[in-house]
Amino acid sequence: MSQTKINIKNESSVPILKRDGFGTKGRVVTVKANSFEVTKISKYDEFLKYTLEIKPIDAEKNIEADIKRERSDYGKSIRRRILKELSLKKGEWFQNVVIAYDGGTTLFTTDRLGFDKETETKPCTD
């Protein structure tokens, strides 16, 4: 792994707020990044990104509960199960398609799924 030095000019287009008596001398900080360059992906021509919204059917809206549910591992587990059920019910959408799902709102695929062909949205209570 190589380290890259970043040169920072003293001139800044963004004003830096100063606090008298604080921060007159800084300390050197080493920043490491775990990254790699992707130069070519030979097998797939493109990647598509879907933003998913999976919510429970609730008559009463509780925003705090929604936020906790979104951030919890339990919520991720439920959303992964829902995506799995979708792939079983709409198997033709997922044939020869590679997916990457973060358990939240982001789904990457190597081809289009059939969402644009759906004309009706129905809640699934199974």
- Per-residue pLDDT tens, the chain, 126 aa: give them: 455 555 555 555 667 677 777 766 778 888 888 887 777 666 777 888 999 887 766 646 666 666 666 666 667 888 889 889 989 999 999 999 999 898 888 999 998 998 877 766 665 555
* Longest Cα–Cα distance in the chain: 65
Number of domains the chain contains: 1
What pLDDT score does 3 carry? 55
Residue 26 included in any domain: no
Q: Please check whether residue 124 lies inside any domain of the structure.
A: no
Angle of CA points 101, 109, 49, to nearest 5°: 80
Domain that holds residue 102: 48-117
Residue 53 maps to a domain:
yes
User: Phi and psi (nearest 5°) for 7?
Assistant: -90, 130
Specify if 122 maps to a domain. Answer: no
- What's the rounded Cα separation, in Å, for the pair 68 and 61? 13
Is 81 part of any domain? yes
Query: Does residue 30 lie within any of the structural domains?
Result: no
User: Is 80 a domain residue?
Assistant: yes
Q: Would residue 13 count as lying in a domain?
A: no
